[in-house]
Structure 1
Amino acid sequence: MGYKSIVLNLDIDGMVAPVVKLGVDLAQRFDARLIGLSAADIPPPVVMEGGVAFEGESMMRQRKNIERRLEDLRAEFESLAGATVDTEWRGAVGNPTRLLIESARVADLIVTASPEGASSGNAYRSTDLGNLILQAGRPVFIASTNLENFRINKVLVGWKDTREARRAVVDAMPFLQMAQEVRVVTIDDEATDETWNGLDDLVAFLSLHGVKAKAEVFPEKSNGANIPDVADAMNADLVISGAYGHSRFREWIFGGATRSLLENDRLNRLMSN
């Protein structure tokens, strides 16, 4: 098992070089094709008292600005990737989250940075990570801030005996097989024999795939920040976790553990649903 097609998401307003260098690094490690993708959309006209706030000429100007920026991103992507890996470029005027989810059909893995700067929270210019993870049907690697060279030495698996966590472990197997140290961590105030039996089963499963892992249980904190805390303490290079959430009024509502990982841009995270 391996990643043979990686979709690399570039925030139209974000840093480019660190993310592209990471994508190239991963594509080289896994002998994968690297597909660069960036998109931004034009906000619809806002009707206000007395008329429309944005006229057709203004919208056309915004479109041209997006198209110019996409061409600049393509040039930078191709320059940084060079001939070291097989590449493809996809740039479009459209909703960035929707287009990235659609492009997941050609990906084994999606790589993205956390939205940053002025684009953060702007649905027309940045990716909604929660929406992406829960709808893409592919593992999503969320890079820590300004990461360029990615070590795969210490990996932490945030484990719950759920479909999402099982999916995440299988999706992350290429990373797990490269790691030198793997710790499977469950957050539970009162671990039972059933809890430990599940952990033992997972450790045995990983062993069959050539992954030597150690299982541990930690007590729960009220703010759900346990997994990031343990990851910081062990200097983890990557945290693997299932993503748990549901839609309410077209917004994604996440549990504390998932939310704390999504918001922690100091960690590299691989999340599946």
Structure 2
Amino acid sequence: MAYRSILVNLDIDQPAEPIMRAAIDLASRSGARLIGLCATETPKKHAEEIRAAFLHLAANRIEAEWRGEATTPTEAVVTAARIADLVLMAAGNRADPATVVLRAGRPLLVIRSGQHALPARKIVVGWKDTREARRAIADALPLLSVAYDVAVVSVSPEPTPAEIQSLTEIVTYLAQHNVKARPQMIKSADETIGFLQVIDASDADIIVTGAYGHSRLREWAFGGITRLLLDENTRNRFLSC
């Protein structure tokens, strides 16, 4: 399994080169086609400069496609995601990551500000036996399969036999996909604090989690770990729901 098509959103108000280089690096390692996207509600000359820089950096390295859209960045990303296996954006992007992860139907990888490459050597996976976590692990398999250190972390105030079993079984599932992972069951009264302590100590390159929320009419209200990971800009975050 591999990503064959990757979409990278390039924000007209951010330095574009770091995220371009990180996306090209990942696409090159994955053998994937890379789609560069820049959306503005009104035409701007800088959009053409971004297009030229993207195609120049991608030339002779990967198969690349450019899309310029006259709409909001969030809408453009959600629409274009239908032709991609994975969506990339930089932290602080004008496209709203919560809306993208909810509506795009594709996993979202948010890359921390200013990063020019995307190492995937050490990955921490947040695990609870939910649909969102199962989906995130399946979607992240191409990254997990090339990592040399994968920790699957479950946090509970009082781990139950069922929680321990689910953690053991998901690690076995990963092994069947040639991912050597180690389980970590953390006892903590606060799930968010316990998980943050693990990732802060891990020096992980990427954090993989399901995007958890609850229905509120036709929207989702994200909370806990998901809300924190959506809002902060210092970690590379892989989110799926």
Sort the TM-score into its range (normalised by shorter chain). over 0.9
Deviations 1:84-137 (A, max 9, x none): 110000011102111111111100010111125xxxxxxxxx101100001111
Question: What is the RMSD of the two structures over their aligned residues, measured on CA atoms?
Answer: 1.6
Structure 2 CA distance for partners of 1:246 and 1:75, relative to 1, 3 Å: farther
TM-score, normalised with respect to structure 1: 0.84
2:52 maps to which of 72, 75, 80: 75
1:229 maps to which of 194, 197, 211: 197
Matched-pair contact (CA < 8 Å) for 2:92–2:113:
no
Q: What are the within-5 Å matches in structure 2 for residues 30-179 of structure 1?
A: 30-41=30-41, 63-64=42-43, 66=44, 68-115=45-92, 126-179=94-147
Deviations 1:5-59 (A, max 9, x none): 0001111101211000001100110000000001122xxxxxxxxxxxxxxxxxx
Larger radius of gyration: 1
Structure 2 CA distance for partners of 1:30 and 1:245, relative to 1, 3 Å: same
Which residue of structure 2 lines up, in the alignment, with residue 29 of structure 1? 29
Which residue of structure 2 lines up, in the alignment, with residue 205 of structure 1? 173
Contiguous gaps of at least 5 residues in structure 1:
42-62, 117-125
Structure 1 residue 247 displacement after superposition: 5.4
Instruction: Give 2:85's aligned amino acid.
Output: D
Any idea what SS the aligned residue of 2:157 has? Answer: coil
Overall identity of the aligned pairs, in %: 41
Distance 1:172 1:166 in 2: 10
Distance 1:174 1:11 in 2: 26
Matched-pair contact (CA < 8 Å) for 2:157–2:190:
no
Any idea what SS the aligned residue of 2:182 has? Answer: strand
Structure 1 residue 255 displacement after superposition: 1.4
Contiguous gaps of at least 5 residues in structure 2:
none
Matched-pair contact (CA < 8 Å) for 1:225–1:260:
no
Distance 1:69 1:149 in 2: 23
Matched-pair contact (CA < 8 Å) for 1:131–1:252:
no
Structure 2 CA distance for partners of 1:256 and 1:29, relative to 1, 3 Å: same
Structure 1 residue 175 displacement after superposition: 0.6
Distance 2:131 2:76 in 1: 26
Structure 1 residue 229 displacement after superposition: 2.9
Distance 2:218 2:165 in 1: 38
